[in-house]
Amino acid sequence: MPTVAVYDIAGGKIGDMELNENIFGVEVNEGLLHQAVVLQLASQRLGTHSTKTRGFVKGGGRKPWRQKGTGRARAGSRRSPVWVGGGTVFGPHPRKYGFKMPRKQRRLAIKCALSDKVKSGDFLVVDGLNFDAPKTKQAVKMLGDFNVSDKSLFVTAEFLENVEKSVRNIQGAKAITAQGLNVYDILNHNKLFVAKDAINRIEEVFA
């Protein structure tokens, strides 16, 4: 079983903790991680872009000029795509960019992301991960105690207002709950500060 150190909020080591090998010790599948990230980012796209085809452009009620005898090219409508102000051919229309991914693959992708952080030593378990008040200064002090200046993700067992408000003003830092774990946030942050009680929540869901 993978074993990680447990720290207090001041960065001092207070013990060790064994993690579930089926969650934090799986073989990393890079292709699956890529697919999960693409799915998450694609699902966030609004897809509200739209262009007008010749059927939606104003005008074009009559033929611009007669068919023959003018010396000009034949024209049937001012809404033709070859005219300035005419319709657009094959332009984008509202659509959803998301696609389906099997539930087992989505869960396995999260396990792979967590296992990768454990193997790289960027998975830090903190006992009592909370702050006395919603102050950014406390979160900055904690990062300084751990000697961390990289993008950091704070994972708590449940929503903690003090943690959320203390972290959100720090560039590159983010706080989420164990229930909101996702592949993109795990991979997009260099360090993971995980509350000790959040480990149990993660193991309950993914074991």
Per-residue confidence (pLDDT) for residue 59, from 0 to 100: 87
- As a whole number of angstroms, the distance between CA 125 and CA 122 comes to 10
Query: Which value, in Å, is the radius of gyration of the alpha carbons in the chain?
Result: 27
Q: What local confidence, expressed as pLDDT, does residue 22 receive?
A: 92
In this prediction, residue 63 carries a pLDDT of 93
What pTM value is reported for the model?
0.84
How far apart, in whole angstroms, are the C-alpha atoms of residue 130 and residue 82?
63
User: CA geometry: angle at 173 spanning 30 and 132, to 5°?
Assistant: 135
What pLDDT is attached to residue 61?
85
pLDDT of residue 98: 93
Tell me the backbone φ, ψ of residue 38, rounded to 5 degrees. -60, -40
- Closest by alpha carbon to 189, among 128, 148, 134, 133? 148
Burial of 117 (0-12, 13-18, 19+ CB in 10 A): buried
Alpha helices in the chain (DSSP H): 21-24, 30-43, 103-120, 136-145, 161-167, 183-188, 196-206
Give the pLDDT of residue 207: 76
pLDDT value of position 26: 93
pLDDT in tens, the chain (207 residues): 889 999 999 899 999 999 999 999 999 999 999 999 999 999 999 999 999 999 999 988 899 999 999 999 999 999 999 999 999 999 999 999 999 999 999 999 999 999 999 999 999 999 989 999 999 999 999 999 999 988 999 999 999 999 999 999 999 999 999 999 999 999 999 999 999 999 999 998 887
Structure tokens at 55: 């059927």
| pLDDT at 205 (0 to 100) | 87
